[in-house]
Amino acid sequence: MLENKVAIITGGTRGIGFETVRKFLQNGAKVILFGSKEESVKKALNLLKDENPNYEVLGFYPNLSNEEAIKSTFELIYKKYGKIDILVNNAGVSSSTPLTMYAKEEVDKIIELNIKAVFNCSKNIIPYFEKNQGGVILNTSSMVSIYGQPSGCLYPMSKFAVNGLTKSLARELASKNIRVNAVAPGIIETDMVKDLPKEIINPLVNSIPLRRIGKPEDIANAFLFLASDMASYISGAILQVDGLARS
């Protein structure tokens, strides 16, 4: 579905991001994953190469809140492949801190990674999409961007911002043949969720009509669809992948 496409995926070393990297590789893409540290990037690359030595995958660890670091990394990728087709803004950090307990450091971290990094990467990918006469930007949102959450208000706030950016850029960039969409995952079986005790997990499962927690592959499949030409007439969507029935 992505044969010969060149895709950049931030937060690609674990969880949803890593599964999306794998899914894109399985579908013929050349993938460049971004991580926060050299060690985690190397570990992810080794896992993928062990799975399939023929995967064409590279890794970098730029500071996503530093615009110059993003620009220089994008330029390296463009020089190697001659094009960039897809950007997945997946890197982010969650929060459950009560409003009155937030420290400045946590506030800054959430804003820098969940909002500023998405903005910076989207802004600086555009020149390459223009050279390519089109492209796809995909953002990771969250179910809490729609429902909110009982504590840690900065996380849903940041994802509301991602939704707003997604819808606005879809309008702004449509004339350049650039599609912009987001995926809003529900409760997904990441390492953090796996470690939760049964007394917390079971009520969560019971609240989902499909009676199961989502898997990273469920989200990766949504990203694959939106990145592919099968979604060529979809832009500005916030695709909810959370197992919930809707009217």
Q: What pLDDT score does 247 carry?
A: 39
Q: What pLDDT score does 192 carry?
A: 63
Active-site residue 233, yes or no? no
pLDDT digits over 164-184, tens only? 999 999 999 999 999 999 999
Which residues of the chain are modeled with pLDDT < 70?
192, 195-197, 200, 245-247
Exposure on the CB side of residue 111, measured as CA atoms within 13 A: 7
| CB contact set of 89 (below 8 Å; sequence gap of 6+) | 10, 117, 118, 121, 122, 137, 138, 139, 140, 162
194 φ, ψ (degrees, to nearest 5): -60, -30
Q: What pLDDT score does 171 carry?
A: 98
User: Maximum CA pair distance of the chain?
Assistant: 53
CATH of 6-241, one of 3.60.15.10, 3.40.50.720, 3.40.50.2300, 3.40.605.10: 3.40.50.720
Q: Catalytic pick from 55, 102, 155, 233? A: 155
The DSSP annotation for 176-236 comes to GTEEEEEEEE-SB--HHHHTS-HHHHHHHHHTSTT-S-B-HHHHHHHHHHHHSGGGTT--S
Distance of alpha carbon 103 from alpha carbon 162, whole angstroms: 22
Q: What pLDDT score does 201 carry?
A: 76
Q: What pLDDT score does 244 carry?
A: 84
| 246 burial type by CB count under 10 A (0-12 exposed, 13-18 middle, 19+ buried) | exposed
